[in-house]
Amino acid sequence: MAKWVVDQSHSSVGFEVKHMMVSKVRGKFNAYSADIEAADLADLTTATIAFSFDVASIDTSSEDRDNHLKSADFFDVENNPTIDFKSTSITKDGDDYEVTGDLTIKGVTKSITFEVEYGGKGKNPWGVEVYGFEAEAKLNREEFGLTWNAALETGGVLVGKDIKIKVELEINPAA
């Protein structure tokens, strides 16, 4: 098994959630790490994958909202500094994959499946082989203890239950 690293300058970890039942708020985690081992990334079924997102690095383009998300109302970053994922199974579906694993948010661990699209491989200008993947999963934030909300006068709530996690990765062999 070879070790692989995420090229963070060509990758992103983001999310989106409904706001006021009518629009979406998008955000990202600016700091994250990954531990990826695989015999061959062209066949992701040979891989084991672990990710950790630094919750303090959350960025929704609103400092007030980011601070609220870091508070005990949401992620409680002081007591839960990371969101962690560890794969438990990877299956191939045509050219794509389903990566199932344990996701831990705010001390709660649940199984989640990412739909993963293999983007291909190539060599960068320095002769290093790189692989590209896009992954998406949907989760109910309330199942992870993220239950804060506010009722709207017009009906509905301020923050939607469903969160989409979107990950775009460029992966290189570890040096």
Residue pLDDT, tens place only, 46-100: 999 999 999 999 999 999 989 999 999 999 999 999 999 999 999 998 889 999 9
pLDDT band at 45 (very low <50, low <70, confident <90, very high): very high
For residue 51, what pLDDT is reported?
A: 95
Superfamily assignment of 2-173 in CATH? Answer: Lipid/polyisoprenoid-binding, YceI-like (2.40.128.110)
- Which helix H or strand E contains 85, and what residues bound it? strand 82-93
For residue 93, what pLDDT is reported?
A: 87
For residue 148, what pLDDT is reported?
A: 74
CA distance linking residue 29 with residue 14, whole number of Å:
6
Q: In the chain, helix, strand, coil percent, each to 5? A: 10, 60, 30
For the chain, the structural domain boundaries read 2-173
Report the helix count and the strand count for the chain, using DSSP H and E.
1, 11
For residue 157, what pLDDT is reported?
A: 62
pLDDT band at 154 (very low <50, low <70, confident <90, very high): confident
What are the tens digits of pLDDT across the range 114-134? 999 999 999 989 888 899 999
Residues with Cβ within 8 Å of residue 128, at least 6 apart in sequence: 172, 173
**Contact yes or no for 70/106 (Cβ under 8 A):** no
